Structure formats: structure tokens, C-alpha cells
Amino acid sequence: MLNGILKKFLLILLVVVVYQNWGKIERVFNPSQVVSEQTQAKANVVLYATDWCGYCKLTRRFLDQKGIPYKEFDIEKDAEARKAYEALGGRGIPLIDVNGTLIRGYDPDEILAALK
């Protein structure tokens, strides 16, 4: 019985890890979706987010899938990040600063446009 419980626990743990890292995993299997190295080199992306936000998760996954490097700040856990977020106008998450262009919410097309 203990063996069965352990197997279920390990399966659930595997599913959680795969879900959290899906963007990175997908990039390995679908490298054509990766943004060019030249675009990556000039990318300055800052993501203001929270752990619980669904659109923040989608944004992380998108950035990971495209191979876009980014810095992330949790506005609930980091007081300095919260101040920076509010200085940028706040009002909703995710808030993404892409090379100085502010993008409010999850918008992959805007992110790619700001990178060009």
C-alpha cells in the first residue's frame, strides 16, 4: 500500500514540475519557435508579476518558449519591486517592461513587437 501511495505522489510531483517548466521543455522540442539570437541579445525584459496570477504564468511560459531572457519581480513578496511597479503606473498584472515599452496584461504580439 505504501508503494502505491509513493508512486501516486511521484506522479503528481512529476506533473507539477512539467507544468511549471512547460515553456522550457517545449522550446527543446520546438526550436523553430525561438526568437533570433540577435533579438535575444538586445532584449531587456522585466516582468512584474505574482505567483498566483494565471496571465503571469502564461507570460512566463511565452517568454520561456521564445527563449527571451527576462528578470522577474514578485510585487507581493518584494517591497522594492512593488515600488518600481507603482512608479510605472501599476494597475494590473502582469506588467512587462520590454526595452522601455510597457505592456499591461498578457499580449504575445505586443511583446514581440517591442523586441524589434
Domain locations in the chain?
2-115
Asked if the model's pLDDT at residue 37 lies above 70, the reply is no
Asked if the model's pLDDT at residue 85 lies above 90, the reply is yes
Percent of the chain past pLDDT 70, that is, above it, reads 80
Q: Which helix (H) or strand (E) holds 20?
A: helix 2-20
CATH architecture of 2-115: 3-Layer(aba) Sandwich (3.40)
Q: Write down the pTM of the prediction.
A: 0.67
For all residues of the chain together, what is the average pLDDT? 85
